[in-house]
Amino acid sequence: MLRLLLLLQLHGPGDHPGGDSWFGVDKMKHFFMGAFVQSVGYSAVRATGARHDAALLSATAITAGVSISKELWDAHGGGTASLRDLAWDAAGAGAATLLLRRSVR
């Protein structure tokens, strides 16, 4: 599953053709991918019988791992590594976490 999510997030060389701005299509992709990975990670961990808080923490670790792996891939020739991409990944994960915290009682 982790390999599939990493492949979905790979953009290839030139993923920041206009420079690495804070806003743009690339950053929205990172936001929604972060939210997606957080949600799927949470659901997968909950399916194993884990409690709500443990699943949120595990999903955050999964999302961080996928996001950092993507940027490490970029740093080693797969694209352009970016701390701004990581910030948008974290924002997406945070947004998903807020929704998950509110939807599960």
pTM of the model: 0.77
Q: Helices in 1-105 by DSSP H: which ranges? A: 2-9, 25-47, 52-73, 83-103
Rounded to an integer, what distance in angstroms lies between the CA atom of residue 105 and that of residue 50?
14
Tens digit of pLDDT for each residue in 8-30? 455 444 455 556 778 777 899 99
Tens digit of pLDDT for each residue in 84-93? 999 999 999 9
